[in-house]
């Protein structure tokens, strides 16, 4: 999951009492792929996370898994996840498209890409075969889940306009718009569509992104979605050869940047969420750091302070990113700091919300 952007937060600051808004929703993304990468049983991990009292989950439709052969669909793993969430009464954001949360970003089946010659850095949607196959897959997913009561939102692609994955592919706005039209046309319940964008609070990286990215994702995303969701990482690292780089931003600059993004979205009639608020390490040269050494890029106090900061900016829906890692820490190292801190954060949020509702 390589993104050329970053932000930072003040280190080692505990979560102070906060007047949480009564309508604040806290969610997380769950990926069986990430659980397996960490050596976890993906079903056991999901069942554990369902006990944390999240208000909402984001689940991914992994194309390479659900269509292993042309026209042959296997929805069993996704059916099970949706069923488990429904039993708990937890609504779901379901992603559809070529991209889904977690590395390698694109989950296009090998049988689709193998016959094609696709260049590094290419517009992946420029290939007619991929365009048609993607739309066929989306229609199959919509037919399967059109009346699924547990799905409250659709997410079309994941940061579709950003170059990403090992080959830095991207999709053009015209094709993503066609994907959005396909979802809307096949949804009898007319559920809102969420779309995500990477964010760049660091000025130098923001400049680099403008040069590197083929299109400005913000206006295109706002044009197509009902809800725009920002992906935010307190500390980001990159490795260039033997050089390990860590990128930071000052709190004041960061707040100014996100206040501007939120106001711009609302001015254009769109709600603004945070879809990925980092709650796991991002270490140089590691897809996910699986060691046990102290890390500069993430620890629970950073996430707790980040959560408070963005809640205070007025974001009413915040998804914590890294829930599989919390379970990994306690299973592998018997380290419950992440797990307990995030559960406590959720419990404080629910407790304050209940009091506000009782007063009402």
Q: Which two tokens stand for residue 51?
A: 């006990």
Q: Average pLDDT, stretch 291-304?
A: 88
| CA proximity to 97, closest of 161, 141, 57, 145 | 141
pLDDT band at 83 (very low <50, low <70, confident <90, very high): very high
Q: Average pLDDT, stretch 64-81?
A: 98
Is 6 among the domain residues?
A: no
Strands 193-198 and 92-96 turn out to be unpaired
Domain with 327, as residue range(s), is: 25-359
User: What is the structure's pLDDT at 203?
Assistant: 73
What is the Cα–Cα distance from 279 to 307, expressed in whole angstroms?
A: 10
pLDDT band at 25 (very low <50, low <70, confident <90, very high): very high
Is 354 among the domain residues?
A: yes
Q: What angle do CA 183, 66, 56 make, to 5 degrees?
A: 60
Is 16 among the domain residues?
A: no
Q: Which two tokens stand for residue 320?
A: 């914590």
User: What is the structure's pLDDT at 354?
Assistant: 56
Please write the tens of the pLDDT for every residue from 317-360: 999 999 999 999 999 999 999 999 999 999 887 665 555 455 55
What is the Cα–Cα distance from 213 to 162, expressed in whole angstroms?
A: 6
Is 1 among the domain residues?
A: no
Is 9 among the domain residues?
A: no
Q: Average pLDDT, stretch 148-175?
A: 97
Q: Which residues, other chains included, contact 139 with Cβ-Cβ below 8 Å and sequence gap of 6+?
A: 182, 186
Q: For 225, which DSSP code? A: -
Please write the tens of the pLDDT for every residue from 164-211: 999 999 999 999 999 999 999 999 999 999 999 999 877 777 777 888
Q: Which residue has the higher pLDDT, 32 or 14?
A: 32
Q: Which residues, other chains included, contact 83 with Cβ-Cβ below 8 Å and sequence gap of 6+?
A: 150
Please write the tens of the pLDDT for every residue from 215-265: 889 999 999 999 999 999 877 788 888 898 887 777 888 899 999 999 999
Please spell the DSSP secondary structure of 16-83, one letter per residue: PP----TT-EEEEEE-HHHHHHTT--HHHHHHHHGGG--SEEEEE--HHHH-SBTTB---HHHHHHHH
Within 10 A of 331 (CB to CB), how many other CB atoms are there?
Answer: 17
136: left (phi over 0), alpha (psi -120 to 50) or beta: alpha
Is 223 among the domain residues?
A: yes
Quickly tell me which residue has 């931003």 as its tokens: 249
Within 10 A of 131 (CB to CB), how many other CB atoms are there?
Answer: 19
CATH of residue 224: 3.20.20.80
Is 19 among the domain residues?
A: no
The total number of structural domains in the chain stands at 1
Is 3 among the domain residues?
A: no
Is 162 a residue whose pLDDT tops 70? yes
């Amino acid at each position: 999951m390589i993104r050329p952007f970053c932000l930072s937060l003040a280190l080692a600051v505990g979560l102070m009492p906060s007047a949480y808004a009564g309508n604040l929703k806290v969610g997380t993304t769950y990926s069986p792929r990430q659980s397996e990468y960490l050596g976890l049983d993906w079903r056991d991990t999901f069942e554990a996370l369902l006990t944390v009292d999240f208000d909402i989950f984001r689940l991914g439709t992994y194309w390479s898994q659900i269509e292993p052969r042309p026209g042959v669909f296997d929805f069993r793993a996704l059916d099970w996840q949706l069923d488990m969430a429904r039993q708990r009464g937890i609504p779901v954001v379901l992603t559809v498209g070529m991209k889904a949360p977690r590395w390698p970003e694109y989950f296009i089946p090998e049988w689709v890409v193998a016959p094609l010659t696709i260049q590094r850095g290419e517009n992946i949607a420029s290939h007619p075969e991929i365009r048609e196959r993607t739309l066929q897959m989306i229609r199959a997913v919509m037919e399967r889940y059109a009346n699924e009561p547990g799905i409250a939102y659709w997410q079309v692609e994941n940061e579709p306009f950003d170059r990403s994955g090992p080959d830095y592919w991207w999709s053009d706005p015209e094709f993503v718009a066609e994907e959005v039209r396909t979802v809307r046309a096949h949804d009898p319940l007319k559920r809102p569509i969420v779309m995500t964008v990477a964010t760049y609070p660091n000025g130098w990286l923001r400049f680099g992104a403008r040069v590197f990215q083929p299109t400005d994702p913000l206006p295109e995303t706002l044009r197509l979605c009902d809800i725009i969701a920002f992906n935010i990482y307190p500390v980001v690292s990159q490795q260039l050869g033997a050089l390990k780089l860590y990128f930071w931003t000052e709190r004041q600059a960061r707040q100014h940047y996100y206040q501007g993004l939120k106001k711009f979205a609302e001015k254009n009639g769109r709600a603004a969420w945070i879809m990925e608020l980092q709650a796991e390490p991002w270490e140089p040269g590691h897809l996910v750091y699986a060691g046990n050494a102290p890390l500069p890029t993430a620890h629970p106090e950073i996430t707790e302070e980040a959560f408070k900061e963005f809640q205070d900016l007025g974001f009413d829906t915040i998804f914590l990113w890294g829930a599989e890692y919390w379970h990994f820490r306690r299973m592998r190292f018997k380290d419950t700091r992440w797990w307990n801190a995030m559960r406590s954060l959720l419990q404080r949020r629910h407790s304050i919300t209940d009091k506000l509702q009782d007063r009402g």
